[in-house]
Chain A
Amino acid sequence: MRGDIFARKKMNAFVFLGVLILVTLVAIVMTEYNVAKGFTSIPKAVHWGFSNFYPNGESFRKLPDIMMKLKETVLVSIAATSAGAVFALVFAIFGAHTTRFNAVLGGISRGIATVFRNIDVAAWALILLFSFGQNVMTGYFALFFGSFGYLTRAFIETIDEVSGGSVEALRATGAGYFHIVFQSVIPSSIPQMISWILFMIETNIRQATLVGILTGTGIGFAFNLYYKSMNYHTASLVVVAIVIAILFIEYISNYVRRAIL
């Protein structure tokens, strides 16, 4: 019996590897991808990057403009995330196993969150372009919907993971539903929830750059503009500014995380 299990595992591994190689080969053939050319072009790309894609003295004249756009992007990301988090908290309480009113309402709540989560932020931006046009609101709502879906899922798992025992204990004391939510569920899960929100803000700043290209707003638009006008030096300055902003936000959120845990 023992030998059988190991033989079967080995067999499974071989089959998996075989399928993987087959899929890769089929994909290479179908897309007419030249493997050799693909790898040899990497050094060329690096060379181009070092000779053109760096900020020079002139590009720094655009810095105030870039900073303003960057500020707008960061603030929109934070606003969208916090608004999404408020809605996510309500939906998570309805959807989590330990705190839901009943299975039907819980299912509906999880369902809505799943739909919002599985449509990518970029897809949301494209859909919302029809309603709002090239406007900050489009980006805001795209990020809001994406964060809402993702955070609902994260919060549901946090609630179920953290508060099972104390919820049972409070039910046994005769406490009501709202007592339990406010005295046990929220105090137990708040540090993890804040951690998720901070993570979402970081992610959204990255996403906002991409969304900005689509919606013609914020730092993404600035990058697109300089890049397309072949002002590569300024475009690279935009990238550097984004990277610094993200590192800074990450540093702050790590600090906050340590402080609350």
Chain B
Amino acid sequence: MKTLLELRQVSKHYGQETAALSDVSFNVKEGEFVSIIGPSGAGKSTLLRCINRIVDASGGEIFFNDENVLKLDKAQLKRVRRTIGMIFQHYNLVNRLSVIENVLHGRLGYKSTLAGMLGLYSEEEKQQAVKMLNILGLQEHTYRRADQLSGGQKQRVGIARALVQKPKMLLCDEPIASLDPNAAKTIMDYLKTISATMGITVLVNLHQVDVALRYSDRIIGVNKGKVVYDGSPKEMSSSMIHKIYGSEAGELIFDHGGQNAG
């Protein structure tokens, strides 16, 4: 399998002293499902945002599909961004617009300034948006306003918006952190299916260790801006989890309830 994403010694500083990321290096192959776990404030969100340059990295190199992301000019960056879908903890939809309009926002990267401003989408794009809504089981909500949906439904709209971009990769920033367990499972199942059937690479930040162990092909553990683990979920040991979270044995809920997941 070809390497789709490569990070080399990526670092990010805020101001002079606080380092959010230091010397982060890893590869992601095409079609892989990779989870990033680590404590709050470890730099997981910053890491994802550096990849599509919502946040500009301070140093290092990021190669996506053989292009050095950090060297791109504005127009090239837009072209790369539209091949990377992004999914957010708080869904980040335009609440007052309808579901279908929110999904079509995924096409904006392909539109001219005027057509995008006025929201003029082609018949083909609309068909594609409807198709994505069908795949995600939202067909009866197509014309409802986004703020009338439940959290799980909103997140599925977020996924549909990312998918109409025809992305090579999805970056998911805590996609299930605000959802109840049922909705969380639905979302994770959709992500897994999408990755498997469409061959889309998925990179997902997670708080739930058991979810990461169950769904991922590979797990990257981050602590204090550094990669401390990069391997398969099978090799993940209980002591390694404690190392990632900087905790002592017996301190995590995981120790009592989640053992069988590993």
Tell me the A residues contacting B by CB distance below 8 Å.
165-166, 168-176, 178-179, 181-184, 187-188, 190-191
Contact yes or no, B82 A166, CB < 8 A:
no
Check B105 against A170 for contact (C-beta < 8 Å): yes
Q: Is B108 an interface residue (CB 8 A)?
A: yes
A176 partner, pick from B78, B95, B171, beta carbons under 8 A: B78
Q: Whole-angstrom distance from the CB of B192 to the nearest CB of chain A? A: 22
Partner of B113 from the list A170, A174, A179 (CB cut-off 8 Å) is: A179
A175 to B54, Cβ gap below 8 A? no
Chain B residues, CB < 8 A from A175: 78, 105, 108-109, 116
In the bound complex, residues from chain A placing their C-beta under 8 Å from that of B96 are 187-188, 190-191
Q: Is the interface of A mostly helix, strand, loop or mixed?
A: helix
* A172-B81 CB under 8 A given contacts A183-B94, A183-B117, A187-B96: yes
Flag if B81 contacts A174 (CB, 8 Å). yes
Q: Is B1 an interface residue (CB 8 A)?
A: no
* B47 shortest CB reach to chain A, Å: 14
Q: How far is the CB of A171 from chain B (nearest CB, A)?
A: 6
Contact B54 A183 (CB under 8 A): no
> Would you mind naming 9 contact pairs between A and B with Cβ atoms under 8 Å apart?
A169-B88, A172-B52, A173-B85, A173-B109, A173-B161, A174-B82, A179-B113, A182-B116, A184-B105
Cα–Cα distance between A172 and B80 once the two chains are bound (Å): 10
Q: Which residues of the partner chain A approach B118 to less than 8 Å between Cβ atoms?
A: 182
B86 interface contact, C-beta 8 A: yes
How far is B102's CA from A188's CA once the two chains are assembled, in angstroms? 12
Contact B93 A179 (CB under 8 A): no
Q: Which residues of B lie under 8 Å from residue A173 when comparing CB positions?
A: 81-82, 85-86, 105-106, 108-109, 161-162, 165
**Nearest CB in chain B to that of A165: its residue:** B92
**How many Å lie between the Cα of A38 and that of B96 in the bound state?**
54
Distance between Cα atoms of A170 and B105 in the complex (Å) = 7
Write the chain B residue with the least CB distance to A167. B92
Query: Which residues of chain B have a CB within 8 Å of any CB of chain A?
Result: 52, 54, 77-82, 84-86, 88, 90-97, 105-106, 108-111, 113, 116-119, 158, 161-162, 165, 171
Q: Is the beta-carbon distance between B116 and A169 smaller than 8 angstroms?
A: no
Closest to B90 in A: A165
Q: Which residues of B contact A181 (CB under 8 A)?
A: 117
User: What is the CA–CA distance of A174 and B84 in the complex, to the nearest angstrom?
Assistant: 9
CA distance A175 to B106 in the complex (A): 8
- Contact at A188–B81, with CB atoms within 8 Å? no
**How distant is the Cα of A169 from the Cα of B87 in the complex, in angstroms?**
8
Q: How far is the CA of A190 from the CA of B97 in the complex (A)?
A: 12
Evaluate contact between B161 and A166: CB separation under 8 angstroms: no
| B94/A188 in contact, CB under 8 A | yes
Residues of A within 8 A of B80 (CB): 174
List, in ascending order, chain B residues with CB within 8 A of A176's CB: 78, 108, 113, 116
Closest-CB distance, B154 to chain A (whole angstroms)? 11
> Which of chain B's residues have a CB closer than 8 A to the CB of A171?
54, 81
5 more A-B residue pairs beyond the given contacts A174-B78, A184-B94, with a C-beta to C-beta distance below 8 A = A169-B158, A171-B81, A172-B85, A172-B171, A174-B77
Distance (Å) between the CB of B169 and the closest chain A CB? 12
A184-B54 Cα distance, complex, nearest whole Å: 17
Distance, CA A168 to CA B52, complexed state (A): 11
A183 near B88: Cβ-Cβ < 8 Å: no
In whole angstroms, how far apart are the Cα atoms of A261 and B117 in the complex?
A: 23
In contact, A179 and B117 (Cβ under 8 angstroms): yes
Assess whether B109 is in contact with A169, with CB atoms less than 8 Å apart: no
A165 to B90, CA, bound (A): 8
In the assembled complex, the Cα of A173 lies from the Cα of B110 at a distance in Å of 9
From A169, A182, A184, A190, contact of B86 by CB (8 A)? A169
Give 4 closest A-B pairs by Cβ, nearest first: A174-B109, A174-B82, A175-B108, A174-B81
